[in-house]
């Protein structure tokens, strides 16, 4: 990790891959979005968590919902605002509850998981508007920006970065940092890893990534919009970032290239490339020691931000 690597036992990661592919292979051309969402929630969302789970209504008009996830002993003054992954089409607070509970435990903080609007019913910028609304709501509740860290995986990592960029453009005080897991930073899918990792990534290939981008953007969307592809943005002024990514991922360059560009813009970046790991491997802490180690690294990052 940390721009080095860790050694990966073959059996645990291969078992994880089989679990994920068992869902993906059921998704033919005729499957409904509703069924895809149900399948994804079933894959990840049936694990009991050692944390208090409290539904919450978010926003001045109560238009958004989410969950407070609070591990035993967490400092409720500290908050991670979490955006789940799923290509902007699937995923929910249910599918990511175990991961959020893990973050709450290692960070000693509350986690607010947001149910942002999904495509194709709600295309860009719906999810981004919801992300910023949730941040504004936290601040309106009296939580200081210095006590907030935003976080997300995959499309949720994209959303975390896009929210930071929009808040910066609006002259807002930014949160204390951001945690990004397998972040999707480039909807043009231009990174060399889409080719060099095509054989090693068992799940995500460039045609699939581009299809998800079209689904999110709609026919008139621009994949080069910096609020859609944060890799193409001016990154000056962003808060400290922890970026974790699996070495096998086709979206590897979405993280490594973003880290390099952010550093060049003066941003404090910690980059961890995990050898042999797949997309958002942190969602499998029961199976993968690497997932547990990555969560521990997230906890250390969060505690440094709040020291």
In this structure, are residues 158 and 192 in contact, taking their beta carbons and an 8 Å threshold? no
Question: In terms of Cα–Cα distance, which of 85, 96, 112 is closest to 43?
Answer: 96
**DSSP labels, the chain:** -TTS-----HHHHHHHHHHHHHHHTT--TT--HHHHHHHHHHHHS----SSEEEEEEESTT--EEEEEEE-TT-EEEEEEEEE--STTTS--TTTTHHHHHHHHHHHTEEEEEEE---TTTS-TTHHHHHHHHHHHHHHHTT--GGGEEEEEETHHHHHHHHHHHHHHHTTPPP-SEEEEES----TT---THHHHTTTT-SS--HHHHHHHHHHHH-TT--TT-TTT-GGGS--TTPPPEEEEEETT-TTHHHHHHHHHHHHHTT--EEEEEETT--TTGGG-TTT-HHHHHHHHHHHHHHHHHT-
Q: With respect to CATH, is domain 10-305 assigned 1.10.10.10?
A: no
What's the mean pLDDT in 3-19?
A: 71
pLDDT value of residue 206:
95
Give the bridge partners for 58, in sequence order. Answer: 64
Distance of alpha carbon 179 from alpha carbon 165, whole angstroms = 15
Q: Where residue 28 falls among pLDDT bands split at 50, 70, 90?
A: confident
Close Cβ partners of 57 (under 8 Å, ≥ 6 residues apart):
64, 65
- Which pair of tokens denotes residue 78? 């500290």
Close Cβ partners of 224 (under 8 Å, ≥ 6 residues apart):
188, 232
Domain ranges within the chain, ordered by starting residue: 10-305
- Helices 33-44, 10-24: axis angle to 10 degrees equals 150
Q: Which residue has the tokens 């967490």?
A: 74
Catalytic residue, chosen from 95, 154, 193, 229, is 154
pTM of the model: 0.95
Close Cβ partners of 42 (under 8 Å, ≥ 6 residues apart):
none
pLDDT in tens, 135-167: 999 999 999 999 999 999 999 999 999 999 999
The answer on pLDDT for 42 being more than 80 is yes
pLDDT in tens, 187-229: 999 999 999 999 999 989 999 999 999 999 999 999 999 999 9
Q: Where residue 63 falls among pLDDT bands split at 50, 70, 90?
A: confident
Task: Reply yes or no on whether 104 is catalytic.
Answer: no
pLDDT value of residue 9:
45
């Amino acid at each position: 990790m940390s721009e080095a690597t860790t050694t990966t036992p073959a059996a645990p990661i291969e078992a994880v891959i089989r679990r994920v592919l068992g869902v993906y292979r059921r998704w033919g051309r005729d499957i409904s979005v509703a069924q895809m969402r149900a399948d994804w929630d079933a894959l990840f969302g049936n694990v009991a968590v050692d944390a208090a789970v409290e539904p919450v209504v978010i926003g001045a008009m109560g238009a958004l919902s989410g969950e407070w996830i609070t591990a035993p002993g967490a400092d409720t003054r500290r908050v991670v605002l979490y955006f789940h992954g799923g290509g902007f089409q699937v995923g929910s607070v249910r599918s990511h509850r175990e991961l959020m509970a893990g973050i709450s435990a290692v960070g000693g903080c509350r986690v607010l998981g947001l149910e942002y609007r999904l495509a194709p019913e709600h295309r860009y910028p719906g999810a981004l508007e919801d992300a910023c609304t949730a941040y504004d709501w936290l601040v309106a509740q009296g939580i200081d920006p210095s006590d907030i860290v935003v976080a997300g995986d995959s499309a949720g990592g994209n959303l975390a970065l896009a929210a930071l960029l929009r808040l910066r453009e609006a002259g807002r005080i930014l949160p204390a940092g951001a945690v990004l897991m397998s972040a999707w930073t480039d909807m043009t899918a231009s990174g060399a890893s889409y080719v060099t990792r095509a054989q090693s990534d068992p799940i995500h290939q460039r045609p699939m990534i581009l299809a998800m981008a079209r689904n999110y953007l709609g026919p008139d969307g621009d994949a080069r919009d910096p609020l859609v592809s944060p890799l193409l943005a001016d990154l000056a002024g962003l808060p400290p970032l922890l970026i974790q990514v699996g070495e096998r991922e086709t979206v590897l360059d979405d993280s490594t290239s973003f880290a390099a560009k952010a550093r060049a813009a003066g941003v404090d970046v910690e980059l961890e490339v995990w050898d042999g790991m797949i997309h958002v491997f942190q969602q499998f802490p029961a199976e993968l020691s690497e997932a547990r180690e990555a969560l521990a690294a997230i906890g250390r990052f969060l505690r440094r931000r709040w020291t």
